[in-house]
Structure 1
Amino acid sequence: MYMKVKRLIDSVLSLIGLIVLSPVFFILILAIKVDSRGPIFFKQKRVGLNKTHFNILKFRTMSIDTPKDTPTHLLANPEQYITKVGKFLRKTSLDELPQIWNIFVGQMSIIGPRPALWNQYDLIAERDKYGANGVPAGLTGWAQINGRDELPIEIKAKLDGEYVENIGLWMDVKCFFGTIISVVKSDGVLEGGTGEKDETEIITDENQ
């Protein structure tokens, strides 16, 4: 029953978000176009509910010569590809705003496990152990407020599993407000790095 309520909440809030944030979208679109050559939006194949694929939307933060389908932490020198505006967008997580559209059309939820890249087979397999591929992917989630880029794959999947076990309105509210705190503090953002913390630390993933 809660999953139906969750989808209704997603639909209403994402519609409101698209309308209210339209001036912000306009300003960011102008900034991206002035800053560098290339498209405004970045599309990437991700894994959603029940391991189905969809194209996630982000504001483009990297130059057009960046290797495709490669997580930022696997690039030899990610800083050389990130644009000036891109650095600001990543630090503030504003590059994720276009995913409000993914939520509105039902490809994602506001809260849920961050959608893995289609070729992140290790993460997908780990999530299978906890049933985390059986819930809608989210803009943010329990793992995101407990580590972001700092999380090893095994711990990220375990935290996603904890979300599945405790899924409900209270868990989603905790993730929502926890995300706001994490974004303000820029917790866990490590360009070019991952797995810096161990599971003894309360530990979000912008690039994944």
Structure 2
Amino acid sequence: MQSPFFRVLDVFLALVGICLTIPFWGLIYLVGLYDTGSPVFAQKRVGKYRKPFTLYKFRTMPVATESVATHLVDASSVTKLGNFLRKTKLDELPQLINVLKGEMSFVGPRPCLFNQTELIEERQKRGVMDVLPGITGLAQINGVDMSTPTKLAELDKEMIDTFTLSAYFSYILQTAIGKGAGDRVKR
């Protein structure tokens, strides 16, 4: 899953993705300034081998929102712009920087917070923490989020064990066309 071939592919696709979407970045940034005053969200996440890294996204909630897993945040915390960004997955664009830096891959287990100890333990048992986290993966396209840590870790392990080039492109394509719900907020 983490072969040099996939690293080259990640870098190439991230560069192409940034080049094709950079006008949207500027627009989202400007609208985000009006929406929350701070359009870029940066948060420490658990990376490969449990090494911390800073994940970047476009902000979808007010700056004062508690730093917890998304499924623990009330849906009313998501701004109008945030709803649009989350539905279209445009909030994920800054993670292309994480991919370029080698902290993430396009495909891998979604990076969790350090306070999600149950998920970290479940992933650790299955060897999931030994690969780069990703922007998307098997769990995301199947609508499984971090609210079900055991099920998520099992799907992450299945993805790692069955990973192929066609799966890589399939997960990316399915995410791009809107399959999966992403990280849900409390209703």
Same fold, judged at TM 0.5 (above): yes
User: Across the two proteins, how many residue pairs are aligned to each other?
Assistant: 187
Aligned to 2:124: 128
Pairwise mapping of residues 147-166 of structure 1 onto structure 2 (< 5 A)? Answer: 147-149=143-145, 152-166=148-162
Aligned to 1:53: 52
Distance of aligned partners of 1:2 and 1:120 in 2 relative to their CA distance in 1, 3 Å threshold = closer
Aligned to 2:72: 74
Name the TM-score, length of structure 1 as normaliser: 0.83
Contact 2:142 2:180 in 1 (8 A): no
Distance of aligned partners of 1:5 and 1:30 in 2 relative to their CA distance in 1, 3 Å threshold = same
How much has 1:139 moved relative to structure 2? 0.5
Contact 1:91 1:189 in 2 (8 A): no
Pairwise mapping of residues 1-208 of structure 1 onto structure 2 (< 5 A)? Answer: 3-37=3-37, 39-68=38-67, 70-75=68-73, 78-149=74-145, 152-181=148-177, 183=178, 187=181, 190-192=184-186
The one-letter code matched in structure 2 to 1:65 is A
The one-letter code matched in structure 2 to 1:176 is I
Name the TM-score, length of structure 2 as normaliser: 0.91
How much has 1:72 moved relative to structure 2? 2.5
The one-letter code matched in structure 2 to 1:43 is A
2: CA distance, partners of 1:180 / 1:21: 13
2: CA distance, partners of 1:36 / 1:175: 31
How much has 1:57 moved relative to structure 2? 0.2
- Segments of 5+ residues of structure 1 without an aligned counterpart are 194-208
1: CA distance, partners of 2:146 / 2:49: 26
- Segments of 5+ residues of structure 2 without an aligned counterpart are none
Q: What per-residue deviation string (whole Å, max 9, x for no partner) do you get for residues 90-116 of structure 1?
A: 121111110000001111000011011
The one-letter code matched in structure 2 to 1:6 is F
RMSD: 1.9
2: CA distance, partners of 1:36 / 1:179: 26
Q: What per-residue deviation string (whole Å, max 9, x for no partner) do you get for residues 106-135 of structure 1?
A: 110000110111211111110112211111
How much has 1:187 moved relative to structure 2? 3.4
The one-letter code matched in structure 2 to 1:18 is I
How much has 1:188 moved relative to structure 2? 5.8
Task: Give identity over the alignment, percent.
Answer: 40
Contact 1:111 1:172 in 2 (8 A): yes
Shift >4 Å, 4+ stretches: none
Contact 2:145 2:183 in 1 (8 A): yes
Contact 2:107 2:133 in 1 (8 A): yes
